[in-house]
Amino acid sequence: MHKYELIFILQADLDEAALDAAVENIETLIKNNQGEIAKTDRWGKRKLAYPIRKMNEGYYVLVEFDYEPEAVAALKRTMGFNEQILRYSVIRVD
């Protein structure tokens, strides 16, 4: 297993329950594929550097986790299908 950081931006217009559910879905996806979450840090609402889908704000979340390298592609693919996620980035930490 390798250490990874996942940063994703959710739509800012979601209510608190929808934000919690979206973050919980990502955490569950990682755990179901034998991943171990070290830390989840919610940065909150921030202004975007440029508009994404005509939105100027987004809700930022950082997740640090241990994961198998083969499963990262499936994680990225699943996150790409989620309409609530504006952008995401998965980075391997050395």
Q: pTM here?
A: 0.88
With a cut of 90, say whether residue 94 has pLDDT above it. Answer: no
Report pLDDT digits (tens) over 38-85: 999 999 999 999 999 999 999 999 999 999 888 899 999 999 998 999
Write the CATH number for 15.
Answer: 3.30.70.60
Report pLDDT digits (tens) over 11-24: 999 999 999 999 99
DSSP string, the chain: -EEEEEEEEEETTS-HHHHHHHHHHHHHHHHHTT-EEEEEEEEEEEEEEEEETTEEEEEEEEEEEEE-GGGHHHHHHHHHH-TTEEEEEEEEE-
Domain count, the chain: 1
Q: Which residues pair with 85 in a beta bridge?
A: 10
Domain that holds residue 39: 2-93
